[in-house]
A = this chain, B = another copy of it.
Amino acid sequence: METGGAKQRILDRAYYAASQYGLESLTIGSLASNLGMSKAGVHGHFGSKQALQLATIRHALSVSQRDVVAPSDRAPDGLPRLWALCVALTSYHEEIGLHGGDFWVTVANEYDSRSGPVRDTVEAIMSRWMRRLEDLISAAVRLGQLTPCDPAQLAFEIQALLDAGGHQGWLYHDPKAPARARAAIHRRLDELRTPDAPDLTE
Contact = CB atoms under 8 A, between A and B. Distances in A.
Interface of A: 19-22, 24-25, 99-101, 105-106, 108-114, 122-123, 126-127, 130, 152-153, 156-157, 159-161, 163-164, 167-168, 170-172, 177, 180-181, 183-184
A interface SS class: helix
A172 B130 contact: yes
Contacts of A156: 164, 168, 177, 180-181, 184
A171 B114 contact: no
27 contacts: A20-B113, A21-B114, A24-B25, A101-B112, A105-B109, A106-B113, A108-B171, A109-B109, A109-B110, A112-B167, A112-B171, A113-B170, A127-B172, A153-B180, A153-B184, A156-B164, A156-B177, A156-B180, A156-B181, A157-B184, A159-B164, A159-B168, A160-B163, A160-B164, A163-B163, A163-B164, A164-B164
A167 B163 contact: yes
A86 to B, nearest CB: 13
B177 A168 contact: no
B112 A22 contact: no
A117 to B, nearest CB: 15
